Structure 1
Amino acid sequence: MKHRERWIPVTLGLGTLALATGIWFAWPVARHAFDSGRQFRPLYIPSQSMRPTLEVGDRFYPRDLGPKGPARGEVIVYRLGEEKRVGRVVGLAGDSVALAGGIVSINGKPVPQKQIGMGTADEPGSPARKMLEQFPGEAQPHAILDQHATPQDDFAAVVVPAGHLFVMGDNRDNSSDSRFPRESFGVGMLPESDALGRVDFIAWSMALPGRFDRPITRIDK
């Protein structure tokens, strides 16, 4: 009996430590997952189109778009037929969007790019330049990958129609987005009504296991 009594404080101590550790790991996710406007159903990234911002397997809880809708530069989840996809908003209704040599122009003004290193564009590990760019009105730069010269690096100027968005993947040479029509497995001009939520934090990353609360607006290292 005395032997059992000696183990009671030890057991309670270990239980308290395990509980505290669990809370320490889960708190960053819970703090975001249950804040105002958060959608409670978790989603995950199945493709490489948003590298380096989002990695395959990243889990996230979208936030409701609110009455103002998405802003230029934000990452959103949207509906495409029966699928859900993720992309970055490049152009809003009324914007003119074009690409020349991989450089985005918005309303006739090229968006500067700066190389900050190298990354991998796909699972086989194909090298790609990691670049920074910042759209007009965007709070801070975002990172993209540019692998090589491709036909989609050039895109004639189009004006985004009322009630629509122009979206692109950050993995520019590995993304079927608004540069491609839907009949060619792209997105075309995305109706704003198909935008489902904004992606502003990552609850769990397969690329960084054990690290919670990874803001996607970071500058990738």
Structure 2
Amino acid sequence: MAVGARSGRDEGGEEPNDSSGPDAVENDGDAKDGAEARPHRSFWKELPLLVGIALLLALLIKTFLVQAFSIPSDSMQNTLQRGDRVLVDKLTPWFGSEPERGEVVVFHDPSNWLSGEATPEPNIAQKALSWIGLMPSAEEKDLIKRTIAIGGDTVECKKGGPVIVNGKELDEPYIFPGNTPCDDFPFGPLTVPKGKIWVMGDHRQNSQDSRYHQQDSTQGFVPVSDVVGRAVVVAWPITRWSTLPIPDTYDQPGIGTQTKATALGLDAAGLAPVGLGPAALGFAGAVPVVLWRRRRLTAGRTDR
């Protein structure tokens, strides 16, 4: 007898358990009956789960990772055009990162800079959809500008001259063609308080920025706590896709240490948040979860 072979009876003389006997057929039939009793759920029955997961992911993405904003004005031309959609990094501030010189940042209105802007009253449905990021918020008043100086810096600009930060002249190729650095509103020298930033629009003669709010309660400075995040990418329209890097002039020796994260008829550049970015990412993330769940349920029924 070959090693490992078994006879028809075991040593005790009892018949071996035959998996092909009547009992096995009955059990197999029971498994089939069970499978028939629990038919595969249709996509439409799974849809509420898909929507629920997508909304949750969209809310988390909008709150902690990235948010899209629409540019409704011309104060950041030519870097940003009216109608552009930018993606704002909201993650790095959660790890203690603060705005750096040269960054384009989105921030909450610090002291009624947008007081002249009309704010429509949203209904309950609009409030709910804007809260989860599926539509722009009508109540939020956010602005977008370039960070020129940070806490501890000295900044100034005389008529006919460049902006000077900590004694270093800035070379600003991003300024709107035909504009001057500050001829419309010279200022300084000013020392930026700790925990604040000094911001200016790239379209200098059409930007109601820090210069125009020195008589406000914040003296034109924007509290770091009001900064939503750094605009990193122009995402739409596709023909305008580009990144928003920090210009080299802010890295010149002596201007200060950069700790870059590994992210009056004038236009105040208010922003409208666009929820389609987080919503699309939320649905994209929800689909694999629902498909995985469906496969698992199908595999479980097959094993019976």
TM-score by length of 2: 0.45
One-letter code aligned to 1:168: M
Residues 41-56 of structure 1 correspond to what in structure 2 (within 5 A)? 41-56=67-82
| Equivalent pair of 2:103/2:246 in contact (CA under 8 Å) | no
The code of the aligned residue for 1:73 comes to: G
Which residue number corresponds to residue 75 of structure 1? Answer: 104
Alpha-carbon distance in 1 for matches of 2:179, 2:234: 28
Q: Which has the higher strand share?
A: 1
Please tell me whether residue 188 in structure 1 is matched to residue 220 in structure 2.
yes
3-state SS of paired residue (1:197): strand
The answer as to whether partners of 1:91 and 1:166 remain within 8 angstroms in 2 is: yes
Is the 2:179–2:203 Cα contact (8 Å) retained in structure 1? no
- Give 2:244's aligned residue: 216
- What do residues 32-82 of structure 1 show as CA deviations (whole Å, max 9, x unaligned)? xx8xx632x421001101011110000122102421211110000000055
Query: Which residues of structure 1 form unaligned runs of 5+?
Result: 1-33, 114-131, 133-142
1:112 corresponding residue in structure 2: 171
Looking at structure 2, the residues matched to 211 and 187 of structure 1 have their Cα atoms a distance apart, in angstroms, of: 39
Matches of 1:187 and 1:44, distance apart in 2: 27
SS state at 1:179 partner: helix
For 1:82-101, what per-residue CA distance to the aligned partner results, in whole angstroms no more than 9, with x for missing partners?
Answer: 51100010000000000122
8 A contact 1:47–1:56 mirrored in 2: yes
Structure 2: stretches of 5+ with no match in the other structure: 1-60, 113-139, 248-304
CA distance in 1, matches of 2:203, 2:107: 17
Deviation at 1:102, TM superposition (A): 4.7
Q: Could you list the per-position Cα deviations for residues 164-196 of structure 1 after superposition, in whole angstroms to 9, with x for gaps in the alignment?
A: 000000111111111111667x98110111110
Match of 2:84 in 1: 58
Q: Is the contact made by 2:102 and 2:246 (CA closer than 8 Å) also made in structure 1?
A: no
Which entry has the higher C-alpha Rg, 1 or 2? 2
- Alpha-carbon separation, structure 2, partners of 1:218 and 1:161: 22
Equivalent position of 1:26 in the other structure = none
User: Hey, what does 1:94 align to over in structure 2?
Assistant: 152
TM alignment of 1:134-213, pairs within 5 A: 143-148=174-179, 151-181=183-213, 188-205=220-237, 210-211=238-239, 213=241
Q: Which has the higher contact order (CA 8 A, sep 6+)?
A: 2
Say if 1:195 and 1:103 are closer, same or farther in 2 by CA, change over 3 A: same
Of all paired residues, the percent bearing the same amino acid is 33
| 1:118-174 deviation line (CA, Å, top 9, x unaligned) | xxxxxxxxxxxxxx1xxxxxxxxxx11153567535212100011100000011111
CA distance in 2, matches of 1:218, 1:78: 18
Distance 1:56 1:95, change over 3 A: same
1:84 is aligned to: 142
User: Pairwise CA RMSD of aligned residues?
Assistant: 2.7
Higher helix fraction (1 or 2): 2
TM-score by length of 1: 0.60
